[in-house]
Amino acid sequence: MPVTIYHNPACGTSRNTLAMIRASGEEPEVIEYLKTPPSWEQLIALINAMGVKVRDVLREKGTPYAALGLGDPKWTDDQLIEAMLAHPILINRPIVVTGKGARLCRPSELVLDLLDHPVTSFTKEDGERVTWPA
């Protein structure tokens, strides 16, 4: 199964995750979800594949989360998904899908156990060194 990353090139975590994927020898399908948001069905499928709650995929920082009052527990999952589709910046990133599963890769090294041939050592943009068992 190919590797897919729901990516925001303005996000350092997303860029590091993409670099780790490429360093592993994979050339993923890169979906810049701010330009090409997932459909309702795709977003539900991603959430289900990750085994998380809808709220777990909501991004607060740098988004209209507070202005929309999305922290209020009154919002249903369907309403939260509608908000994410109306404002894709609310979808936390990066989400990576491989044959081994799907995951929100925050921190970026969470991608490593989704890859067939993960790198054993990687230096992030900020200089942080990540090592992974061979």
DSSP output for 19-76: HHHHHTT--PEEEETTTSPPPHHHHHHHHHHHT--GGGGB--TTSSTTTTTTTSTT--
Which one is catalytic: 11, 81, 91, 111?
A: 11
pLDDT one-digit tens code per residue, 25-34: 999 999 999 9
Question: What's the mean pLDDT in 16-23?
Answer: 97
Domain covering 4-131 in this structure, CATH number: 3.40.30.10
Q: Where are the domains of the chain?
A: 4-131
Question: What's the mean pLDDT in 88-117?
Answer: 97
How many beta carbons lie within 10 A of that of residue 130, not counting itself?
A: 16
Q: What is the pLDDT of residue 23?
A: 96
Q: Which two tokens stand for residue 134?
A: 């061979």
**pTM reported for the whole predicted model:** 0.95
**Does 105 participate in catalysis according to the annotation?**
no
The mean predicted confidence, pLDDT, of the chain is: 96
